[in-house]
Structure 1
Amino acid sequence: MKMFSGWRRFAFGVLLILLLTRLYSAVRELSSSKMSEPHKQLNKKFDHLVLGPAAGQGLSNRLQCQGSKALNRTHSSNDRLVVGNTSYNKMDRSMAVLNIFINFIQVAMPQSEVIILTDPVSDLSVHRNRVSLYPIQGEYSRDKLMLQRIRSYITFLETRLHKLSQNSRDITHYIFTDSDMAVVDDLGQIFRDYPNFHMALTFRNNKGQPLNSGFIAVRGTSDGILRAKLFLQEVLKIYVSKYINASRMLGDQLALAWVVKSKPHFDASRFAKTIAFSDDIGGTSILFLPCAIYNWTPPEGAGQFHGMPLNVKVVHFKGSRKRLMLESWNFYSATPEIADMLCLILGSGRTKYDF
């Protein structure tokens, strides 16, 4: 099948970056331990997906489904594409998630590159076109994992800033993401439609944690990279001084919210609406993008009660939803229709796909 080639018209590339650490080893060990348990223990959890009612039925701007068949089309810019099936076993689910993360990117954005920010001692075997490893020294214990992620982003931006100073015409935009995400549409649109921001964050209607750190976009100009780096340095400072007890998880999101909301007269009520907006936070122009489109989570997550927007671009398989990510890729490989795959995701219940 022919793939949409509009991405080639743009001079820049978008790199999707994740922090891959020993957390994957922990997941792999957990999977291994479950394999060694008695058979009756394994039967306590479902080994297949069970579809339920899809949220958002009857709403004109939401995906409409009949089982796993889409009744209307999403706004994806990609034509149908036949892709190969991916096989995996329970022992290697963590690496399967990483490879499927890459698969989705290479379907939706074939001209992008993937850079994996990782612990130098991690033994990763990822041999894929347009995929590379970027080791960064740091503290990768589980208690320091989220702190290290922010530090790694800052270190990476510093190296990109230095590289840009040597070649000011080599403009590349960056998107930092978690690895448990499926990119289902071209994210280059962010930089085309919103030409003036330095960095972008995703928000949701959550009073305590309105900002999700799983998706951070940075404009690849020298000013964009510098301002994003300074903003993240401020987030890191607040993280260490105010939320160090939450360093294992959530501390980064609490620190993000504190830095943003500390701006005088910042209107936090805008987080209750799924409309993108911009604001200047300490000299950094921040574009706030709704999670409903750029960081949508399957049932039991943000946006589920109103269904899935037709223009969703990123699906975030948080926590135990990672099995659903694997199932979704296999389903897409066989269909291959993005809208039908999204119906599979929308109709799946959390307890049906726990690891």
Structure 2
Amino acid sequence: MRSCSGWRRFLLCFSLLLIIFHIFSGSKALNKSHFLTPSNASNVGDSISFVTVFTIYSTSLDSHADDKSSNLVTVGNVSYTKKERSMAILNVFINFIEVTMPQSNVIILADPESDLSLQRNKVTLYPIQGEYNRDKLMLQRIRSYIAFLNTRLKELAQNPGHTSHYIFTDSDIAVVDDLEHIFQKFPNFHLALTFRNNREQPLNSGFIAVRGTPESILRAKIFLQDVLEVYTLKYTNASRMLGDHLALAWVIKSQPNFDLRRFSKAQAFIEEIDGASVLFLPCATYNWTPPEGAGQFRGMPLDVKVVHFKGSRKRLMLESWNFFSSASDISDMLCLILMSGRTRYDF
């Protein structure tokens, strides 16, 4: 019995040491990150615009459900209906960009019929006709990206001049470090995708960067048209979600000389895909998602630059912004994400 009791004490102490190690390692990594302010942000180089597709579902059924107090979700001192929390997520998405990359613009591709009532500096609503219902939203997102790039190509043909790069993202991400270096460090890519070590879904469409030159925009448009074609032919049964990831993977895997083993290492690389120079960036840095049950101390990547609060983690996105607003410290905010004891999220 004594040896068994001693073994339990050893396991307890060892577990505590692991927790301390992870907290220390996480904090050490997080302290490397910082928010830029207008005074230290670079004024050199081309501009960057963040582009996202956003819609609000306001059917009578949803409106009736929102009237019920049981459907309210409280974060901090604020209670949200479904519509209100969707708008809160969008505003927090913009807030993080304003702090980390204050020179950047935000472009919201939206259903012309929707009334977002959004008045923010450096934010533009860009109406695009399409099918924005829940079951077709992921398909519509790719169509909206293509339509936007096509319009931008026409504008550049008429008025060539200042280059603006584009980063297409989901609206449930937090940009926690400047991303301008992507376009400076890798000067020759046309578009960039994020990857992870996942056999079925190695690519995530929540982050796509496009260089703002006419050739790059054209190559990105053609690439996305290929993805859309695969999506509609092979994955319409997954049109509500995941189909875009599967279609992206199919386009890349269909390349005869592409080495899928490159996805096993979290290192950036460039490949030619049907005439486009595609930069592959690791999700661990540019599209990192907190694991469900983050309180298990699985750790956080060094120098994480984009946090993706996908799925039900959106509450944590609001909590993170509230925490940052009160502390004004990126390391504190990211530690909140790292040490969240929640085993499941409820958004």
* TM-score range relative to shorter protein: 0.7 to 0.9
The residue that corresponds to 2:188 in the other structure is: 196
User: Are 1:27 and 1:94, in contact at CA under 8 Å, matched by a contact in 2?
Assistant: no
Deviation at 1:187, TM superposition (A): 0.9
Question: Given the superposition, is the C-alpha separation of residues 312 and 263 from structure 1 closer, same or farther in structure 2, using an over 3 Å criterion?
Answer: same
Question: Given the superposition, is the C-alpha separation of residues 23 and 189 from structure 1 closer, same or farther in structure 2, using an over 3 Å criterion?
Answer: farther
Question: Given the superposition, is the C-alpha separation of residues 48 and 326 from structure 1 closer, same or farther in structure 2, using an over 3 Å criterion?
Answer: closer
Cα RMSD over matched residues?
2.6
**After the TM superposition, which residues 237-276 of structure 1 pair with which residues of structure 2 at under 5 Å, given as runs?**
237-276=229-268
SS at match of 1:120: coil
The residue that corresponds to 1:181 in the other structure is: 173
Letter in 1 for 2:205: S
**After the TM superposition, which residues 161-310 of structure 1 pair with which residues of structure 2 at under 5 Å, given as runs?**
161-300=153-292, 306-310=298-302
* Alpha-carbon separation, structure 1, partners of 2:60 and 2:244: 21
User: Are 2:292 and 2:345, in contact at CA under 8 Å, matched by a contact in 1?
Assistant: no
The match for 1:20 among 38, 49, 54 is: 54
Aligned length: 310
SS at match of 1:89: strand
User: Are 1:164 and 1:171, in contact at CA under 8 Å, matched by a contact in 2?
Assistant: no
Are residues 1:89 and 2:123 paired? Answer: no
Select the structure of larger CA radius of gyration.
2
* Alpha-carbon separation, structure 2, partners of 1:339 and 1:143: 38
Question: Given the superposition, is the C-alpha separation of residues 29 and 288 from structure 1 closer, same or farther in structure 2, using an over 3 Å criterion?
Answer: farther
CA deviation profile, 1:57-85 (whole Å, cap 9, x unmatched) = xxxxxxxxxxxxxxxxxxxxxxxxxxxxx
The residue that corresponds to 2:66 in the other structure is: 32
Question: Given the superposition, is the C-alpha separation of residues 278 and 28 from structure 1 closer, same or farther in structure 2, using an over 3 Å criterion?
Answer: farther
Deviation at 1:124, TM superposition (A): 0.5
Question: Given the superposition, is the C-alpha separation of residues 31 and 271 from structure 1 closer, same or farther in structure 2, using an over 3 Å criterion?
Answer: farther
Deviation at 1:300, TM superposition (A): 2.5
Deviation at 1:10, TM superposition (A): 2.2
User: Are 2:36 and 2:99, in contact at CA under 8 Å, matched by a contact in 1?
Assistant: no
Structure 1: runs of 5 or more not aligned: 50-86
Question: Given the superposition, is the C-alpha separation of residues 102 and 164 from structure 1 closer, same or farther in structure 2, using an over 3 Å criterion?
Answer: same
TM-score (normalizing by structure 2): 0.83
Deviation at 1:25, TM superposition (A): 7.3
User: Are 1:185 and 1:314, in contact at CA under 8 Å, matched by a contact in 2?
Assistant: yes
SS at match of 1:240: helix
* Alpha-carbon separation, structure 2, partners of 1:227 and 1:112: 23
The residue that corresponds to 1:335 in the other structure is: 327
**After the TM superposition, which residues 44-193 of structure 1 pair with which residues of structure 2 at under 5 Å, given as runs?**
88-91=78-81, 92-193=84-185
Letter in 1 for 2:138: M
CA deviation profile, 1:1-22 (whole Å, cap 9, x unmatched) = 9925443422311111110023
* Alpha-carbon separation, structure 2, partners of 1:349 and 1:34: 28
The match for 1:3 among 34, 37, 45 is: 37
Deviation at 1:197, TM superposition (A): 0.3
The residue that corresponds to 1:75 in the other structure is: none
The residue that corresponds to 1:69 in the other structure is: none
* Alpha-carbon separation, structure 1, partners of 2:195 and 2:60: 29
The residue that corresponds to 2:309 in the other structure is: 317
User: Are 2:97 and 2:175, in contact at CA under 8 Å, matched by a contact in 1?
Assistant: yes
* Alpha-carbon separation, structure 2, partners of 1:31 and 1:94: 15
Runs of 4+ in 1 over 4 A off after TM superposition: 23-31
Question: Given the superposition, is the C-alpha separation of residues 140 and 345 from structure 1 closer, same or farther in structure 2, using an over 3 Å criterion?
Answer: same
SS at match of 2:41: helix
Letter in 2 for 1:3: T
Letter in 2 for 1:231: F
Question: Given the superposition, is the C-alpha separation of residues 341 and 28 from structure 1 closer, same or farther in structure 2, using an over 3 Å criterion?
Answer: farther
Deviation at 1:160, TM superposition (A): 0.7
Deviation at 1:154, TM superposition (A): 0.2
Query: Comparing 203-212 with 1-10, which one deviates more in the overlay?
Result: 1-10
* Alpha-carbon separation, structure 2, partners of 1:305 and 1:197: 36
More helix by share: 2
